[in-house]
């Protein structure tokens, strides 16, 4: 899988891309990250990538020319085209299903905004899919781009040591994860539940399911179907 990231702060990425699973995925040749500073494509003495908004108002808006030219520098006119995503607070809200869908793609391009965001002709003209990582506003799209990268790359075959890790975790089967315990059996007066030490796999599976349902009902009832503690949903 190839992932290109457009940003004016490429220096924000190496610390995260070059550790843990993301580093291992690169070393195994399972992912190829390419960072592009679109300021390199800005014209003029100051290489401005932003300008004042038409219609007035605060802040600055990302100009279309440097971003179009940056994309044209590495995406061939003919041949396979990447799935292109702009990180914006106005986008569809990101979730695990979207991560799974994007993990099927061979080539992604992620655009990280800054200031007040993108000139709308960047979104419309390039037919970008807009994705938000949640209902809050960050200073830039770099952290959202890294959130997508991390959640997508770990789902690619061969990245996680134990493939079951990605199928038995929160959101993958409609519930939050169950509690986990490791050694020691007793820690500061707190015990590992007896059932987990029983060796009875059916009982353990039942306990984990009950715990997952209880946690979901308590913290995220919106994930449950109507009638099982979930809100009525029309979608």
Contact 93, 134 (CB under 8 A): yes
Query: Which structure tokens are listed for 109?
Result: 């391009």
Strand-pair partners of 129: 85
Which position among 69, 116, 177, 213 is part of the footprint of ligand SAM (CB under 6 A)? 116
Which position among 75, 138, 214, 223 is part of the footprint of ligand SAM (CB under 6 A)? 138
Of the candidates 152, 81, 90, the one whose C-alpha atom is nearest the C-alpha of residue 117 is 90
Tell me: cis bond preceding 168? Omega within 30 of 0 counts: no
Rule CB under 6 A: is residue 88 a binding residue for ligand SAM? yes
Nearer to ligand SAM, 96 or 211 (CB): 96
Distance separating alpha carbons of residues 170 and 177, to the nearest angstrom: 4
Least Cβ distance, residue 114 to ligand SAM (angstroms): 5
Nearer to ligand SAM, 132 or 216 (CB): 132
Least Cβ distance, residue 144 to ligand SAM (angstroms): 4
Which position among 140, 177, 196, 230 is part of the footprint of ligand SAM (CB under 6 A)? 140
Nearer to ligand SAM, 148 or 166 (CB): 148
Beta strands in the chain (DSSP E): 2-7, 32-37, 50-51, 61-62, 83-93, 107-112, 129-132, 186-187, 190-191
If one counts every other C-beta atom within 10 angstroms of the C-beta of residue 51, the result is 12
Nearer to ligand SAM, 63 or 208 (CB): 63
Of the candidates 12, 127, 1, the one whose C-alpha atom is nearest the C-alpha of residue 68 is 127
From 38-46, 88-96, 186-194, 202-210, give the range in contact with ligand SAM by CB under 6 A.
88-96
Rule CB under 6 A: is residue 66 a binding residue for ligand SAM? no
Q: Shortest Cβ contact with ligand SAM: which residue?
A: 113
DSSP state of 198: S
Least Cβ distance, residue 150 to ligand SAM (angstroms): 14
If one counts every other C-beta atom within 10 angstroms of the C-beta of residue 97, the result is 10
Which position among 71, 99, 102, 114 is part of the footprint of ligand SAM (CB under 6 A)? 114
DSSP reduced 3-state for 215: helix
Least Cβ distance, residue 129 to ligand SAM (angstroms): 12
Instruction: Please compute Rg for the chain using Cα positions.
Output: 22
Rule CB under 6 A: is residue 136 a binding residue for ligand SAM? yes
Distance separating alpha carbons of residues 35 and 37, to the nearest angstrom: 7
Rule CB under 6 A: is residue 89 a binding residue for ligand SAM? yes
Rule CB under 6 A: is residue 117 a binding residue for ligand SAM? yes
Residues near ligand SAM (CB under 6 A) are 87-90, 112-114, 116-117, 132-134, 136-141, 144
């Amino acid at each position: 899988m190839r992932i290109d990231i457009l940003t004016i702060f490429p220096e924000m990425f190496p610390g995260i891309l070059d550790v843990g699973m993301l580093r291992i995925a690169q070393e195994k040749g399972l992912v190829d990250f390419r960072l592009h500073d679109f300021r390199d494509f800005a014209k003029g003495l100051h290489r401005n990538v932003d300008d004042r908004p038409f219609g007035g108002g605060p802040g600055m808006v990302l100009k279309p020319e440097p971003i179009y030219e940056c994309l044209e520098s590495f995406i061939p006119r003919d041949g396979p085209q990447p799935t292109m995503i702009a990180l914006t607070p106005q986008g569809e809200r990101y979730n695990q299903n979207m991560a799974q869908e994007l993990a099927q793609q061979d080539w992604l391009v992620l655009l990280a905004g800054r200031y007040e965001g993108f000139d709308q002709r960047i979104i419309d003209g390039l037919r970008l899919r807009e994705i938000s990582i949640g209902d809050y506003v960050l200073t830039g799209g770099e952290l959202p781009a890294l959130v997508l990268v991390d959640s997508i790359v770990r789902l690619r075959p061969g990245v996680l040591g134990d493939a079951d890790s990605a199928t038995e975790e929160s959101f993958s089967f409609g519930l939050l994860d169950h509690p986990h315990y490791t050694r020691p059996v007793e820690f500061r007066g707190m015990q590992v539940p007896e059932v987990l030490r029983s060796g009875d796999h059916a009982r353990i599976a039942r306990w984990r399911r009950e715990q997952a349902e209880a946690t979901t009902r308590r913290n995220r009832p919106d994930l449950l179907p109507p009638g099982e503690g979930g809100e009525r949903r029309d979608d």
